[in-house]
Amino acid sequence: QSITKNFRLGFGSFVDKNVPPFVQPAPNTVERPCPTSYNGPCVKAYGFKHHMSLSDNVTEFEYQVREAPVSGNIDAPEGGLDAVMQAIVCDDVIGWRNNSRKLIVFSTDAGFHYAGDGRLAGIIEPNDGECHMVNNEYTHSDKQDYPSIGQISAKLSEKNVNIIFAVTQSQLALYQTLTELIDGAVVGELKQDSSNIVNLISQNYKKISSSVMMMISNDLSDGLTVKFTPDCQESKRNKPECTVSVGGVLNFEVEILATKCINNGTATTFSIYTHGLNDKMRITVQTNCSCFCSKVPRQINSPKCSNHGTYECGVCTCAKGFYGRECECDTASPTVESKIERCKKPGSSDICSGRGQCACGRCKCETTTIEAGQRIYGDYCECDDFSCPRKNDLVCSGQGHGICGCDKRCKCQEGWTGDDCSCTTKTDSCLVNNTICNNQGICECGRCKCNKDSGYLGPTCEDCPTCEHRCAATKDCVLCKIFDSGPLTNEQCDRCSYRFDTVDDARKDVNYRLCQFDDEQDQCRFFYTYHNENDQLVLRVQKTKSCRRVLSVRSTIIIIVTSILAFGLFCLMIWRMLATLHDRREFAKFEQEREKAKWETDVNPLYRQATVKYQNPTYRGYKSSLLFFYEMRLMDHHDNSQVLKRDNSNDSSPIPTPSPPPNNLRVNSVVRLTTIFDDVRTGKVVAFDNGSNMVTLHMNGTKPGLTTIAVVNLIHCREWAVVKEPNDETLEPLFPIDINKLKKRQTENEAEKKKEASFINLKASRTGQALFRDIKKTMNQVIRWSNNDILINNTVRIVDPYRAENVSIDPPTQPINAANQKTSAKGDNDTKTHIIKLVDKFWSDQTKLASNTDSNSTTRTKSGNSSKTTDSTSTS
């Protein structure tokens, strides 16, 4: 945005052709070609996908880049040129505008496939350079070969598209070579974390926008030649190219030469344009194949030449002392025009080269339109210090390399050379064995350029893949001369004419070829390097060999015995694991068989239970009595403990006067009380009032440091049992009681009791009240009594006798619209269905409980513990 506000962004991604050998053909890896170490989402390989057309929506661009699918291929190169070709030619898909500077940023950390590589996959049809995008995806990836570098360059010029290759350091050299073959392409190094991508694009965009290259359209007729002469006088790849600053003016002189008659004298047209821009100049040329003007006599002192020259064939030949197109200027007259002419560079019609003002016949060069530190100078303002070739956006490669001359050429300082003074003249980096490039090449810009015919490669032309190495030929001589071993005899050893040098570690000689072999006599490895020096082979041999460590007999025996024991222990663990699994399976089968068996239960007649139960003779059910607990903390009244119950749902007799409990309900005894609410309280008797039937229990607290005291009226208990008889030990001391906490808990307890009391409907049967409590525990809906009916959410009603068939839905009391009525009806039906399931489960549980009670009563009768059963509760 610091460069231009009128920009648009797009995004696409590429992988490679989804055909072998570029991808793994195995089915599991075709669908997920990413490495197993990568656990994120991964899609199969694809040629090119266009994710976002050109738009000014930066947020969408960031999202598309972040959500780009991850994929993979086998080989290192990728199918990037396929993606570049489609991005160039698919104008409608990408969204290129006609009058804009088009720029493609190609970002990768790998190489590229090009024309011919597709034959490896059996793809022989060449790339046609056309758009093949369907649903934003390249459809001819497996039908056409990769495009050639020439095709990419031609399409970039045809479509006026610039490209920036943003690549990592490992691929920088490859893409630098590629940019030399493509017009309008630049390359920049991308960091591994891509943190410099913004600066890279900005710098290279400035480099592209400050470089002007004149191009000629392909429709130039044969016989016409066009020559560009820029005032910067730069020339790259024999094409006119100049560097111009922002706001600067650059002039090109265009010379068109007709070497023959074109199209029999008819008009022909062609275009000249600047690369990367859509601005074109259409030129129409018509050759005059016969000179008719030569038949017309010339006019001496013609009025067309201001009476100061001869007019012939449309051109004035001025007399001495006059000049100008029409000979209108007099050199002897000091007129204003003559002073202006003094500001024109010979051969040019521009005043002060277009970069200054003419004052009194002298040029005053511009200073306000250029950047700080830059300078325009010269008699005609024809010179400057910023139009010379650049390297890394620095004129003449920067300070210390060279200065920019008036002729727009760099004048290199000592130690530097080249058009942009970027090449060093030093040869230190090319030296090897005191020779430049191993005598197999020349040193250019501090790098060796190996002779193509020599077969040598590498940074110093030392590697020769096609040459036979000397390691095998010198092995026996090294053994003989240095280590006094090997197969050679003394006479053969004396014939070894090499020069031998001993070193401490030959493996550190990274500049020489390393050889390593094993001595067959002692099985030790020896190392040495070789190189040529003054036409003699020099062998640098490491003094000591690298011998393998030989284990002693004792160590060998220990290793063998330990291995045997470890293997035996491993086998024992496997056997134990298998035996355990087998026992578990057999035990599971036994349990299944035991569950299937129908055994008749009985009781040992000699067995006496540790607890004794007493039935409250005054208990006959309840109608209007309420039970209150006065406790030292908030107690839980929803204990699910199960005890034998008496069914008094149909008993409506009034509660009689309570009778005193048995004599063994004494202080310090441990008792278990069952209330009419089916709550069970177990604790030590602290106090008991025989007159009011009030018993005070000391129970364990739910948390350390808490004491629970329960005061219970025995008239509200169905039964009680003595768990432990009293003894002479003193009563355990109680924890200190906080009166304020006691009052708070009592208040909360009373509120909870009142809330529970609101659940009781004295007019309803015990069965209805039990169902009410079960539904209240299960659902969070609004549940209340409506006379003797249970009403849920004010719509679903359960009437006495509270069976599943007694569940119904009340009609709405207020009119509602059709849409709300449909939604409300669906919700009521769902609630009704759920309530029916709860009612069925309630009655099923009641049936099972009654069956278990009858079974227990029958068992006691058979065993002789009781000779009488009454209402499913045994007494003894």
Tally of CA atoms within 13 A in the half-sphere of 269 that contains its CB: 6
Lowest mean pLDDT among 220-229, 571-580, 600-609: 600-609
Among 114-118, 235-239, 369-373, 534-538, name the one with the lowest average pLDDT. 235-239
pLDDT band at 563 (very low <50, low <70, confident <90, very high): very high
- Report which of 377, 374, 350, 380 is spatially closest to residue 362, judged by C-alpha positions: 380
Contact 33, 42 (CB under 8 A): yes
- Helices 818-863 and 766-778, axial angle in degrees (round to 10): 120
> Does residue 21 have a cis peptide bond before it, meaning omega lies within 30 degrees of 0?
yes
Q: Spell out the long-range contacts of 520-529 with Cβ–Cβ below 8 A and sequence spacing 24 or more.
A: 521/485, 522/485, 522/547, 523/547, 523/548, 524/548, 526/478, 526/479, 526/482, 526/483, 528/474, 528/478
What does the pLDDT average to over 812-830? 73
What is the spatial distance between Cα 666 and Cα 503, in angstroms, rounded to a whole number? Answer: 104
Among 276-280, 483-487, 545-549, 838-842, name the one with the lowest average pLDDT: 276-280
- Spatial distance between the Cα atoms of 414 and 221, rounded to a whole number of angstroms: 47
Kindly tell me the burial class for residue 340, based on how many C-beta atoms sit within 10 Å of its own C-beta (0-12, 13-18, 19 or more). middle
What is the distance between the alpha carbons of residues 654 and 622, in angstroms, rounded to a whole number? 8
pLDDT digits over 356-415, tens only? 887 656 788 887 777 777 888 888 888 888 889 988 888 898 888 898 988 888 999 988
Work out the angle at residue 409's Cα, subtended by the Cα atoms of residues 403 and 410, and round it to the nearest 5 degrees.
30
Question: pLDDT tier at 762 (50, 70, 90 boundaries)?
Answer: confident
- pLDDT(866) > 50: no
CB-count burial class (<10 Å; 0-12, 13-18, 19+) for 526: buried
Q: Would you call 255 exposed, middle or buried from its count of C-beta atoms within 10 A (0-12, 13-18, 19+)?
A: exposed
Give pLDDT, residue 816.
67
Q: How far apart are CA 649 and CA 372, in angstroms?
A: 106
Residue 271 has pLDDT above 80, yes or no: yes
pLDDT in tens, 492-551: 898 888 889 999 888 887 777 788 888 888 778 899 888 777 667 788 999 888 887 666
Q: Distances in Å between the alpha carbon of 367 and those of 241, 355, 357, 376?
A: 24, 9, 11, 7
| Phi, psi angle pair for 498, to nearest 5° | -75, 160
Tell me the C-alpha distance between 63 and 704, whole Å: 57
- pLDDT tens digits for range 88-104: 999 889 988 877 788 89
* Torsion on CA atoms 241, 245, 248, 252, rounded to nearest 10: 0
More confident residue, 197 or 444: 444
User: Which helix (H) or strand (E) element contains residue 542?
Assistant: strand 536-542
- CA separation for the pair 591, 718 (Å, rounded): 38
164 near 200, Cβ under 8 Å?
A: yes
What gap in Å lies between CA 612 and CA 790, rounded to an integer?
A: 39
Q: Which domains does the chain have, with CATH numbers?
A: 9-209 (3.40.50.410), 224-285 (no CATH), 291-333 (2.10.25.10), 388-424 (2.10.25.10), 426-466 (2.10.25.10), 468-570 (4.10.1240.30), 612-757 (2.30.30.100), 766-863 (no CATH)
Amino acid identity of 236?
K
Mean pLDDT of the chain: 78
Q: What share of the chain is helix, strand, coil (3-state, %, to 5)?
A: 25, 25, 45
How big is the CA angle at 24 (ends 23 and 29), to the nearest 5 degrees? Answer: 115
Rounded to whole angstroms, the Cα distance separating 117 from 563 reads 53
Report the pLDDT value the prediction gives residue 436, as an integer from 0 to 100: 86
Q: What is the pLDDT of residue 629?
A: 37
pLDDT of residue 581: 92
Residue 131 tokens, joined: 């758009």
* CA dist list (Å): 283 to 157, 212, 255, 273: 19, 20, 12, 11
Q: Is the pLDDT of residue 641 over 60?
A: no
Is the pLDDT higher at 148 or at 777? 148
